[in-house]
Amino acid sequence: MEVLKESMLSISKHISNIARSLNEKEIVTFISSMQESNKIFIYGAGRSGLVAKAFAMRLMHLGFDIYVIGEIITPAIAKNDLLITISGSGETTSVVAAAEIAKRANAKVILITTFPNSTLGKIADSLVVVKGRTKLIGDKNFLLRQIKGEHYSLAPLGTLFEVAVLIFLDGLVAELMAKLGQSEDDLRTRHATIE
């Protein structure tokens, strides 16, 4: 159980560092883009996709017109719409393709990433940088990582990025609730009743 505790403490320390390092201007732009859009679309691949779906649910609870890319009820994206993309590397092929399609439709694209100078970073209209080790970072040599003190097994692959983004987006939901004057009771009225 020692590894479990050490892992949790390591991840929570990373989250605290992220909270202190967030760029407020990026967040203000993110919120205003959401409020100004007609429809919001969200997309991430793999575990980033699961984080995207969790955020989409909360945006629906807040009353936003939100769609998850890849679901069969997702409509066409158009001008004055917004695509929120989540990719730690900023290079995920399917997410890059979705962003390119959104840009051709004259929609805005926001990227949440660790790498602002990535392919997606260059496509996006704006971004939010959430620092974290993605599955692409780190020395491939196990012994060298241990000597350097890089114990990635405590948060393997993209865990730090994905968990940080999940918590960042949940914090953003609380910020949106305050800005929109909504309470948990308001969100509850839009919560699923058939489960």
Question: Which residues fall within 8 angstroms of residue 139, CB to CB, at 6 or more apart?
Answer: 145, 148, 150
Catalytic residue among 36, 150, 162, 175: 162
Catalytic residue status for 162? yes
Residues with active-site annotation: 162
